[in-house]
Amino acid sequence: MNTQKLAELLFPDVNGTPEMLEKRFPERKLPAGAVVTRIGPSPTGFVHLGNLYNAVIGERLAHQSEGIFYLRIEDTDEKRKVDGAVETLISAMQYFGVQFDEGATADGDNGNYAPYRQRQRKEIYHIIAKFLVQQGKAYPCFLTAEEIDAIREEQTKQQENPGIYGKYAEANRNLTLEEIQQKISSGLPWVLRYRAELSDETITVQDAVRGKISMPKNIMDFVLLKSDGIPTYHFAHVVDDHFMRSTHVIRGEEWISSLPMHVELFNTLGWNLPIYCHTATLMKTDDGKKRKLSKRKDPELALAYYQQEGICPEAVWEFLLTLLNSDFEEWRLANPEKDYHEFPYSIEKMSVSGALVDLDKLRDVSKEVISRMPAEKVYSALLDWCRIYQPDFAELLRKYPERSLKALNIGRTGEKRRKDLENWKQACQFLNFWFEETFIQQDAMPEEISESDRKLFFQTYIERYQHSDDSSAWFAKVKEITQELGYAVKPKDFKKHPDQFKGSIIHVTNMLRIALTGRANAPDIWEVSQVLGEEIVLNRLKKFL
């Protein structure tokens, strides 16, 4: 077989050579040890946690080493393509604070290794494909889906491994140039297959997170180009990561099984293998069993879920970091004020087994993250979220900026910070008492206090209320009233002699809090009163007379 002629027959319009590509996409000039890596999502319109998970790893490795982190759109599957998916993806990544140095943008490309959408790289793949044909390492295959099914059926029956290899590939491997020419001119569709050799050798790859992985050498005549001339993932991965000069390939562990194909291609083409980092799959429990997160059953797999719930990007990021590097939490404890970007991330510290997504843990991380934010930041982040998901509340935040800011600032200064905000959705609920428009009487008054005692208390309190009292003067007054009306000033006294008091100061302050905020859980009463203002305070109290 004259492979030169076959190559011309298959790719008559391809004139480039691998050498030309090497020149067009030169080695990057970066400091030693710089990591070049990427995420390569498919534009299916569904952005999931796993995308972010791998993005976080790549972004950290690249930017900690003065390297490059880029976005490549892997859109080789026509069937799964969804309009607008690239925009969705980019905006989601932006929302979660993932910064790309180069790659696909909403309306084009940014960088010297463009194009960054695989469909637009067809000519590049074809140059390499033609080269492989010339080398006798690839051939056209005319097998139909039915024929392949039949082969697989036979193989299953014989308990052999399914696939196109060895004798099952012979029919199409050994076609003469004339036969091929005839089939093509009669319009038969074909795919380009890699010509593998049968072998019982094993290959070993040094995976950066798992160590040595040994597998049987590839013997499959796997598909390089589909019948529409677009490459499969395997071919595109090898070509792109070579010419985009990736140093690290970070991807889910589901790719481990196709490693032999990739290694085979890199070797055949004489290219250096990138450093592979196969990450663990995100899991979840179901009926006590661990299982892979599923798109259909688990809303928390979608990144959009975290946006809708108003879980702030920093919290999601820190949560992922706790899963990714076991010492992140210790570091965070030791450096409460530092930005998470300062945490020294490393692949070696990564876990190899699939981590469960624990929403309780996320909530805890989130509370912590929000408690560290200054009031201004909480205000603007909350407002941004509300604009999209709770426009009515956004309206109020904008209408009363001063009050909102003061409200958010309570318990946010000094050492002991309030941790009552979990996420923006919950925050809207929690903060609704600050505005007359959203105030609701959520919790009931303590049952232990009779209605007449309650009225007497509010009457007394209103009579003596001085809005200008400072915190200690105010509290002294509360104690005074407490005592006069027959409540225990010290909760312990009431505990010891419940028959001697109407209740304790806890009941008194509870009544006040519930009247002022509509609920039992709220910040300091005096501070709340100061922020609400005299008029609102008195109005709310008078309802209980």
Among 94, 112, 161, 174, contact with RNA (rule: CB under 7 A):
161
Among 84, 216, 344, 374, contact with RNA (rule: CB under 7 A):
216
| 212 sits in which H/E element | strand 211-216
* Interface with RNA, residue 94, by CB under 7 A: no
Q: Which is nearer to RNA, 364 or 469 (CB)?
A: 364
Among 520, 533, 534, 539, contact with RNA (rule: CB under 7 A):
520
Q: Which is nearer to RNA, 2 or 182 (CB)?
A: 182
Contact stretch for RNA (CB under 7 A) within 14-22, 54-62, 220-228, 385-393: 220-228
**Structural tokens at position 420:** 């009552």
CA distance 108 to 75: 14
Contact stretch for RNA (CB under 7 A) within 13-21, 63-71, 100-108, 280-288: 280-288
* Interface with RNA, residue 441, by CB under 7 A: no
Q: Which is nearer to RNA, 4 or 353 (CB)?
A: 353
* Interface with RNA, residue 469, by CB under 7 A: no
> Given the DSSP bridges, would you call strands 108-110 and 248-252 parallel, antiparallel or unpaired?
unpaired
* Interface with RNA, residue 97, by CB under 7 A: no
> Given the DSSP bridges, would you call strands 102-105 and 248-252 parallel, antiparallel or unpaired?
unpaired
Residue 105 CB, shortest distance to RNA, in Å, is 19
* Interface with RNA, residue 201, by CB under 7 A: no
**CA angle centred on 482, ends 477 and 488, rounded to 5°:** 135
Binding residues among 409-438 for RNA as defined by CB under 7 A: 411, 416-420
Q: Which is nearer to RNA, 289 or 543 (CB)?
A: 289
**CA angle centred on 67, ends 266 and 86, rounded to 5°:** 75
**Structural tokens at position 114:** 């463009």
Q: Which is nearer to RNA, 255 or 271 (CB)?
A: 255
**Structural tokens at position 6:** 């076959």
Residue 91 CB, shortest distance to RNA, in Å, is 20
Binding residues among 366-385 for RNA as defined by CB under 7 A: 367
**CA angle centred on 499, ends 496 and 502, rounded to 5°:** 105
Alpha helices in 411-470 (DSSP H): 424-430, 451-464
* b/e burial code for range 256-277 (CB count within 10 A of at least 16 → b): bebbbbbbbbbebbebebbbbb
Phi, psi of 86 (to 5 degrees): -65, -45
* Interface with RNA, residue 198, by CB under 7 A: no
The contact mask relative to RNA for 61-80 (x = CB under 7 A, - = no) is -------------x-xx--x
Contact stretch for RNA (CB under 7 A) within 50-58, 298-306, 338-346, 513-521: 513-521
**SS3 for 333?**
helix
Q: How many helices (H) and strands (E) does the chain have?
A: 24, 13
Is the Cβ–Cβ distance between 169 and 197 less than 8 Å?
no
* Interface with RNA, residue 524, by CB under 7 A: yes
* Interface with RNA, residue 189, by CB under 7 A: yes
Question: Between helices 375-389 and 401-409, what is the axis angle to 10°?
Answer: 120
* Interface with RNA, residue 214, by CB under 7 A: yes
Size of the site for RNA (CB under 7 A): 88
Binding residues among 4-43 for RNA as defined by CB under 7 A: 40-42
Q: Which is nearer to RNA, 172 or 394 (CB)?
A: 172
Among 9, 184, 215, 383, contact with RNA (rule: CB under 7 A):
215
**SS3 for 405?**
helix
Partners of 373 in beta bridges = none
